[in-house]
Structure 1
Amino acid sequence: MRKITAGLFISLDGVVEAPDQWHFPYFNDEMGAAVGEILGGADTVLFGRRTYDSFAGAWPEREAAGGEDAGFAKVLGDARKIVASSTRLEFTWRNSEQLEGELVESVTALKNGPGGDISLSGSISVVRQLLAAGLLDELHLLVHPLAVRKGMRLFDEGETSIPLTLTSSKAFRTGVLHLVYAPAKSAGEGTYDDAKKQLPRE
């Protein structure tokens, strides 16, 4: 079974929208390595349409320009790119295709099919749906020490909670935290009577 990994730049107050407007001051070699870990190990990248449009509008030109980021641009270009959208799309970026069918059903089939790991970058609506369906194996959050105070948050309103377990954490020199979560079967049980036993005593 293929592993599905999502990576997101996120502010301290939970904003994940338009990170290009606030996260670059925190981008150092440690974050570059984390991004490479999330995206570089996969042979397939799954996108929502808006995130794909953003990537397709930048990375092919960066690969062609042959600059410092051309190597990473080539990795993205060579990867199989699958775009979830309800609108019929046409592609100019190589190795791009549209996800056919309903998202959860189609990604379940993709996960159970042949191939290497699958990554997501951004694509908040897709991440939300895959989290709720229990299809994400790892959620990488690069938490910035910044309250953006406007924009879309990662988690929206819902009927049920989504329990997760922290599998690893690392603090970068910039103050960014790289937190990796995996699905948990439940959040466990507890009451105030259980908690008060842990309070400081005189």
Structure 2
Amino acid sequence: MRKIVASLLISLDGVVEAPDQWHFPYFNDEMGAAVDATFSAADTLLLGRETYEGFAGAWPEREAAGGEDADFARKLGDARKIVVSRQDLSLTWRNSEQIKGGLVDAVTALKSEPGKSGKDIAMSGSVSVVRQLLANGLLDELHLLVHPIAVRKGMRLFDEGETTLPLRLLSSATFRTGVLHLVYAPAEAPGDATYEDAKAHLPQGEQ
């Protein structure tokens, strides 16, 4: 079964909207390496419509321009790109296709495909898709690049809901800029507890 790995730029107060307005001052070689590692481990990209259109409007031109980011742009272009949308789309970027049928059934089938040497399926942005996959137990890893800034407006990663989404921390790293690279996986619910259970772990005074 192939893994789906979602990577998101997120502020300290949980905002994931319009990172181009607050993210770039924190981008350094450490973050570049983390982003490249996520995409290098994948041969398929799963993207929401808005994210796909943003990528398709920028990366092919950057690849053609042959600048410093041309190699990364070529890597994105060569990957298989699967777009989630209820609209009929005209996909102009090479190796692009639109998901057919319901999201849950289509992604379940996608995870069962062999891929190239077991490579991952990567996601970037596409918050509404990430939410749906988390809710349906289809997201294997959530990579959060937490920026030390409170944006104070915009869409948050987690929306209002009736159920909780327990996660377990797989790894963490602190970049020189203060950005935290946190990798989570879904977890079982921690169970019920009260203050009476918790107070046993408070520091005890001298006896």
Superposed pair shares fold, TM > 0.5: yes
SS in 2 for 1:89: coil
How do residues 108-187 of structure 1 correspond to structure 2 at under 5 angstroms?
A: 108-115=108-115, 116-187=119-190
The corresponding residue for 1:105 is 105
The corresponding residue for 1:27 is 27
The corresponding residue for 1:71 is 71
How do residues 39-58 of structure 1 correspond to structure 2 at under 5 angstroms?
A: 39-58=39-58
SS in 2 for 1:169: strand
Deviations 1:70-111 (A, max 9, x none): 000000000000000000011111000000011111101100
Amino acid across the alignment from 2:61: E
Segment of structure 1 superposing worse, 187-196 or 86-95: 187-196
Amino acid across the alignment from 2:138: L
Taking the aligned partners of 1:91 and 1:165, their CA distance within structure 2 comes to 37
Taking the aligned partners of 1:62 and 1:89, their CA distance within structure 2 comes to 22
The corresponding residue for 1:37 is 37
Cα distance, 1:186 vs structure 2: 1.6
What is the percentage of aligned positions where both structures have the same residue?
Answer: 74
Instruction: State the TM-score, normalizing by the size of structure 1.
Output: 0.98
Taking the aligned partners of 2:187 and 2:173, their CA distance within structure 1 comes to 20
Amino acid across the alignment from 1:118: I
Give the superposed CA RMSD.
0.8
Segment of structure 1 superposing worse, 180-189 or 48-57: 180-189
Residues 164 and 187 in structure 1, CA contact (< 8 A), matched pair in contact too: no
Instruction: State the TM-score, normalizing by the size of structure 2.
Output: 0.96
Number of aligned residue pairs: 202
SS in 2 for 1:166: strand
Listed as ranges, the gaps of 5+ residues in structure 2 are none
Residues 44 and 119 in structure 1, CA contact (< 8 A), matched pair in contact too: yes
Taking the aligned partners of 2:154 and 2:78, their CA distance within structure 1 comes to 32
Residues 8 and 142 in structure 1, CA contact (< 8 A), matched pair in contact too: yes
Amino acid across the alignment from 1:77: G
